């Protein structure tokens, strides 16, 4: 371990030294001075530096994603002159402790696939590869995605592999999620924006709390059924959803009419529509059976947005569900941050309820 090294929280007075260190350590993918200024404010992050005497010789930055149990090592750097002395290991240990104090279960990171020394270090510290991202860096090199459970020992995880797809508009979270399920059930399906918009046209409620309409759970299931999938819908209420967020009378009338049309078409096509709230135990059962599940959530705990939002439940373990969120734009998250997001089961139960009438809905594709 490095001797005489002090690990402490980053301060605004460290800005110049941080920029100098960044330029010395990286030829590409550098954090800008403006980025450092942002992260030094300390919002949703852990930012530590390593010092030797008066010199700043390393830093580590971890992002804490709101509403999740996930921490992400966003950047770590050690001055070239002092590498090989255990400073990176010291930094990472302190960052893990701080993330654990913030109630995070997992630390994730990305590392260049060709950086064998860094990969070996992370493996030594308990990280394991769970994915690979091609053409990730500015120089077009590939990245390995690694993960470590920092708060609890590893448990058995049920993980049907589901591809991730970003919604291309602000109102197509439902179609984007359905595309993920359909692609997992049938890898021959070509995921495209054209199909995403087709699904929206088939399932839209026309109106929503604001802007274009979202998608009705029965409409989404009917769209899947029309393409040969064995779909099921679970609804806590059989009445028209989302009415409480709409003020105009003519919009309420349209929502009512569209709802009745979807329910009638569902009955006519013998679509299984179960009148029952979506529960944690039912989600666990579906995932154990390797069914493919998308659920409607209140995304307030994720991004402070009170709108209803569709996500895919990709996997589970003893403590968490894992989600694919199709919306990259909220809080300027990257696509990596939207995949397999760990949410504690005790927290997810609160997210499954939307609005004052405690509405819950799920669309399930059975293999």
The radius of gyration computed from the CA coordinates of the chain, to the nearest angstrom, equals 23
For 324-350, how does the pLDDT look when each residue is reduced to its tens digit (9 = 90+)? 999 987 644 577 778 888 888 888 998
Question: Which residues are CB-neighbours of 249 under 8 A, at least 6 positions away?
Answer: none
Place of tokens 């819950």: 360
For 86-141, how does the pLDDT look when each residue is reduced to its tens digit (9 = 90+)? 999 999 999 999 999 998 988 999 999 999 999 999 999 999 998 898 999 988 99
Class of 5-149 in CATH: alpha beta
CATH architecture of 173-366: Alpha-Beta Complex (3.90)
**In which element (H, E) is residue 363 found?**
strand 361-366
Give Cα separations from 310 to 23, 53, 215, 227, 295 (angstroms). Answer: 41, 51, 9, 20, 6
State the burial class of residue 260 (Cβ atoms within 10 Å of its Cβ: 0-12, 13-18, 19+): exposed
pLDDT at 12: 95
Instruction: List the chain domain ranges.
Output: 5-149, 173-366
- Tell me the torsion sign for CA atoms 288, 292, 298, 301: positive
For residues 91 and 76, the answer to whether their CB atoms sit within 8 Å is yes
Give the phi and the psi of residue 240 in degrees, each rounded to 5.
Answer: -65, 125
**CA–CA dist 3, 315 (Å, integer):** 43
For residues 177 and 223, the answer to whether their CB atoms sit within 8 Å is no
Q: Which of 348, 340, 333 has the alpha carbon at shortest distance from 180?
A: 340
pLDDT at 128: 92
pLDDT at 74: 95
Give the phi and the psi of residue 323 in degrees, each rounded to 5.
Answer: -120, 145
Give Cα separations from 168 to 174, 308, 336, 339 (angstroms). Answer: 11, 17, 16, 16
**In which element (H, E) is residue 62 found?**
strand 55-64
Place of tokens 């992370």: 122
Q: Which of 316, 318, 298 has the alpha carbon at shortest distance from 308?
A: 298
**CA–CA dist 145, 134 (Å, integer):** 11
pTM for this model (two decimals): 0.71
pLDDT at 1: 47
**CA–CA dist 233, 366 (Å, integer):** 11
**CA–CA dist 181, 187 (Å, integer):** 10
Q: What are the residue ranges in the chain where pLDDT is below 70?
A: 1-3, 152-160, 208-211, 301, 303-304, 330-333
pLDDT at 331: 45
Pairing of strands 361-366, 230-235: antiparallel
**CA–CA dist 333, 327 (Å, integer):** 9
Residue 222 CA, distance from chain mean position: 26
């Amino acid at each position: 371990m490095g001797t005489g090294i002090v690990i402490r929280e980053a301060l605004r007075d460290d800005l110049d030294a941080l920029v100098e260190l960044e330029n010395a350590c990286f030829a590409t993918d550098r954090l800008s001075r403006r980025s450092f200024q942002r992260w030094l404010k300390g919002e949703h992050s852990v930012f530590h530096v390593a010092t030797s005497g008066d010199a700043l010789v390393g830093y580590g930055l971890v992002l804490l994603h709101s509403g999740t149990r996930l921490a992400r090592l966003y950047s770590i750097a050690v001055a070239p002159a002092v590498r090989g002395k255990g400073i990176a290991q010291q930094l990472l240990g302190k960052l893990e402790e701080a993330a654990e104090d913030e109630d995070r279960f997992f630390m994730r990171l990305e590392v260049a696939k060709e950086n064998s020394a860094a990969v070996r270090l992370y493996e030594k510290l308990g990280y394991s590869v769970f994915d690979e991202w091609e053409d990730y860096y500015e120089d077009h090199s590939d990245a390995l995605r690694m993960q470590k459970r920092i708060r609890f020992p590893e448990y058995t995880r049920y993980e049907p592999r589901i591809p991730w797809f970003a919604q291309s508009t602000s109102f197509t979270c439902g179609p984007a999620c359905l595309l993920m399920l359909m692609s997992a059930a049938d890898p021959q399906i070509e995921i495209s924006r054209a199909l995403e918009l087709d699904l929206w046209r088939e399932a839209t409620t026309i109106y929503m709390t604001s802007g274009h309409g979202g998608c009705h759970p029965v409409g989404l299931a009917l769209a899947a059924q029309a393409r040969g999938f064995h779909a099921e819908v679970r609804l806590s209420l059989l009445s028209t959803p989302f009415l409480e967020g709409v003020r105009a009378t003519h919009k309420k009338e349209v929502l009512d009419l569209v709802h009745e049309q979807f329910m009638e078409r569902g009955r006519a096509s013998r679509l299984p529509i179960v009148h029952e709230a979506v529960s944690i135990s039912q989600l666990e059962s579906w995932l154990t059976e390797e069914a493919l599940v998308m659920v409607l959530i209140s995304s307030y705990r994720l991004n402070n947005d009170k709108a209803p939002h569709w996500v895919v439940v990709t996997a589970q373990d003893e403590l968490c569900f894992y989600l694919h969120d199709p919306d990259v734009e909220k809080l300027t998250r990257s696509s990596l941050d939207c995949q397999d997001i760990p949410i504690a089961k005790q927290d997810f139960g609160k997210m499954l309820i939307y609005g004052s009438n405690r509405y819950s809905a799920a669309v399930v594709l059975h293999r």
